[in-house]
A and B are shown apart, each in its own frame.
Chain A
Amino acid sequence: MSELWQEGAAALAAAVRGREASALDVADAHLDRALRWNDHIEAFLHLEPEEVRRQAREIDRRIAAGEDPGPLAGVPVALKDNLCVRGQPATCASRILEPFVPPYDAHVVERLRAAGAVLFGKTNLDEFAMGSSTENSAFGPTRNPFDLARTAGGSSGGSAAAVAAGLAPLALGSDTGGSIRQPAALCGVVGMKPTYGLVSRYGLIAFASSLDQIGPFARTVDDAALLLETIAGRDARDATSAADAVPDLRQRGDLKGLRVGVPEECFGEGLAKDVRALVETALGRLKGAGAKIVEVSLPLSVHGIAVYYIVAPSEASSNLARYDGVRYGLRGEGRSVEEMFSETRGEGFGPEVKRRILLGTFALSSGYYEAYYGRAQKVRAAMRHEMEACFRKVDVLASPTTPTAAFALGEKASDPLAMYLSDVLTVTANLCGVPALSLSCGRTAEGLPVGLQLTAPRFGEGTLFRAARAAEALLPPFSWPPAPAAGAERRTR
């Protein structure tokens, strides 16, 4: 066996269950690496070594007693800091929730515990998951392990960076407009957004409830499937949790005859040359392995960003109304209740969250509701029909995940619209409720990872993972980022 931190989740669980390695050894190997790397990449907001070791010892105790802790026995899983773990902070990278300690576990956390996983700290994100670079975190940005001057992507940048750097074999993120797939692409790992309703949102701190889904990060497609299997399925505490059976995620098979649709709109203006070249090479390999490449068109997808930036902020303005200084979090001063509300929110929210609350409040306000929110809902329905019609002709869609590889920290921080446009290829899957997965298809000349995005129809995860496994075997394998320099010279900001 190579070093424990280099192993994937399935191998680690097998080693722990087979008593070849203790859960404590696995935890210590990852803690050691995390404590050394985190100063450079700032992937974690909270990581308590003693709490991690306590969970690992408990797994070892159960194994010694002859129990089987489950399919993720002793596997460290990092959690985005908008997921609730009883007794651990959940800040959403916001000042307003800095003092908040959830009194309950999210559904996905209950599932992880039941599968024998070791909860491995809370990862950085853009405040309330609003952003594409983690630069909106109130606690500072996460850096890309492949180039510390660049973004790890966002909003789940901490989870992506942690998995890419070997600080944890698995992580969970949430994806509202690309917040799992975009950072996965920029950090060279696998990231997946499930069908809307496949994973319960109970205990995920809400951003935009009709778009939010929790999903896995891993270094291989198999490990991502293993984590999704653990967290998927009906939960009555989320009214949008689907009653449909969880698709079989273990399908294997070659690509012969698989119809892969390539939407022309995903290869338009703004797509970087090096990204286009790597994705086209990947598509060539799929074709060489027997896939049938079909050119398709999704004309309404070009309106995705406009629809998204009405729907998501509108839902956010409603969801974030709960942060009023009464029940949890920060409280500002005020002589009246209304003054206290306004002070609390003015002090507690960062600039991007304020922009989105205001944008959403505007879109929902009297006189504008029909023109903005009403119209966006109609275009969204039309986009969904267009997507469904497309899936009558093809089995999966393939495209780049992002228009460019990782951009420099600071490059887009002062231009919100430019930042929004970096989600152009990922928002459609959220608006249509379909599953999508990003896997690495190589690196640019500068050594930066590029993602290939595969999209399937609703509850088409079986086909999606089968296609992703076959594609993974044809693409360059995961490779580790270089060790950060010992000094602070690479920390540019």
Chain B
Amino acid sequence: MAIDPAEVLRIARLARLKVDPDEARRLAKDLDRIVHHIDSLRSVKLPEGAESLTYFGRDVHRADDARDCLAREDALRNAPMQDGEFFLVPKIVDKEES
């Protein structure tokens, strides 16, 4: 799999990460070399139906009890914009759409 600047821009859009065209060219070069290295895994012989390791522990359950959580004041303290009750963000719905 070769990675070119257009592919970098496609992935960057998925990741909601602004990347300018110069940066995309540099990143494409780096990512292409890295992906070339990790492509070596294709050569590893694995048995049919080999299992995957996603998790070390056992399934963990806990009682469905209400517990204390962060106070609103503490949760809002780090927000770049808030009104004392809610986090504030730029308008989500355009006028024409509403």
Q: A197-B56, A310-B38 known; A236 and B62 CB under 8 Å?
A: yes
Residues 354-374 of A at the B interface (beta carbon under 8 Å):
354-355, 357-359, 361-362, 365, 368, 371-372, 374
Q: Is A240 an interface residue (CB 8 A)?
A: yes
Contacts of B15 in A (CB 8 A): 317, 321, 345, 357-358, 361
A359 contact from B31, B46, B91, Cβ within 8 A? B31
Main secondary structure of the interface of A (DSSP, over half): helix
Residues 1-15 of B at the A interface (beta carbon under 8 Å):
1, 3, 7-8, 11-12, 14-15
Q: Is A392 an interface residue (CB 8 A)?
A: no
The smallest beta-carbon distance between A315 and chain B, in angstroms, is 10
Cβ-defined contact, B34 with A420, below 8 A: yes
A347: nearest chain-B partner, CB-CB: B18
B50 contact from A103, A346, A378, Cβ within 8 A? A378
Cβ-defined contact, B16 with A381, below 8 A: no
Contacts of A420 in B (CB 8 A): 34, 37
Cβ-defined contact, B91 with A362, below 8 A: no
B14 contact from A236, A324, A337, A361, Cβ within 8 A? A361
Contacts of B14 in A (CB 8 A): 361, 365
Q: Is B17 an interface residue (CB 8 A)?
A: yes
B57 contact from A197, A303, A309, Cβ within 8 A? A197
- Residues of B within 8 Å of A, CB-based: how many? 49
Find the residue from B14, B23, B70 having the highest chain A CB count within 10 A: B14
The smallest beta-carbon distance between A180 and chain B, in angstroms, is 18
Cβ-defined contact, A417 with B37, below 8 A: yes
Main secondary structure of the interface of B (DSSP, over half): loop
Q: Is A9 an interface residue (CB 8 A)?
A: no
A236 to B55, CA, bound (A): 17
Contacts of B46 in A (CB 8 A): 378-379, 382
Residues 59-98 of B at the A interface (beta carbon under 8 Å):
60, 62, 70, 74-75, 77-81, 87, 89-92
Contacts of B56 in A (CB 8 A): 196-197, 210, 240, 433, 458
Q: Is A101 an interface residue (CB 8 A)?
A: yes
A340 to B90, CA, bound (A): 8
Cβ-defined contact, A328 with B78, below 8 A: yes
Q: Is A342 an interface residue (CB 8 A)?
A: yes
Q: Is A335 an interface residue (CB 8 A)?
A: yes
Contacts of B41 in A (CB 8 A): 303, 306-307, 310, 375-376, 379
A358 contact from B1, B12, B52, B70, Cβ within 8 A? B12
B74: nearest chain-A partner, CB-CB: A103
Cβ-defined contact, A358 with B27, below 8 A: yes
A452 to B67, CA, bound (A): 45
A240 to B59, CA, bound (A): 9
Q: A240-B56, A336-B91, A381-B50 known; A324 and B37 CB under 8 Å?
A: no
Contacts of B42 in A (CB 8 A): 371, 375
Cβ-defined contact, A331 with B81, below 8 A: yes
The smallest beta-carbon distance between A456 and chain B, in angstroms, is 15
Contacts of A371 in B (CB 8 A): 1, 42
B16 contact from A240, A303, A338, Cβ within 8 A? A338
Find the residue from B16, B37, B60 having the highest chain A CB count within 10 A: B16
A99 to B79, CA, bound (A): 10
Cβ-defined contact, A346 with B54, below 8 A: no
Q: Is A325 an interface residue (CB 8 A)?
A: yes
Q: A336-B91, A374-B52, A379-B41 known; A416 and B34 CB under 8 Å?
A: yes
Cβ-defined contact, B55 with A210, below 8 A: yes
Cβ-defined contact, B34 with A309, below 8 A: yes
Residues 297-347 of A at the B interface (beta carbon under 8 Å):
300, 303, 305-307, 309-310, 317, 321, 324-332, 334-343, 345-347
Cβ-defined contact, B17 with A372, below 8 A: no
A366: nearest chain-B partner, CB-CB: B14
Contacts of B75 in A (CB 8 A): 103, 327
Q: Is B22 an interface residue (CB 8 A)?
A: no
A242 to B58, CA, bound (A): 9
B51: nearest chain-A partner, CB-CB: A381
Contacts of B50 in A (CB 8 A): 378, 381-382
Contacts of A357 in B (CB 8 A): 15, 17
Residues 194-238 of A at the B interface (beta carbon under 8 Å):
196-197, 210, 236
A240 to B60, CA, bound (A): 8
B37 contact from A99, A242, A306, A331, Cβ within 8 A? A306
A107 to B79, CA, bound (A): 23
Q: A100-B78, A331-B81, A379-B41 known; A362 and B52 CB under 8 Å?
A: no
A–B pairs, 28, beta carbons within 8 Å = A100-B78, A104-B74, A197-B57, A239-B57, A240-B57, A305-B37, A306-B40, A321-B16, A327-B75, A330-B80, A332-B18, A342-B18, A343-B18, A345-B16, A345-B18, A354-B23, A355-B27, A355-B30, A359-B31, A361-B14, A361-B15, A372-B38, A377-B52, A379-B46, A380-B52, A384-B53, A416-B30, A420-B34
For the complex with contacts A242-B57, A303-B41, A336-B91, 18 further pairs of A-B residues with Cβ separation under 8 Å are: A101-B77, A103-B70, A303-B44, A321-B16, A327-B75, A327-B78, A327-B87, A336-B92, A342-B16, A342-B17, A345-B17, A354-B19, A357-B15, A358-B8, A371-B1, A381-B50, A382-B44, A416-B33
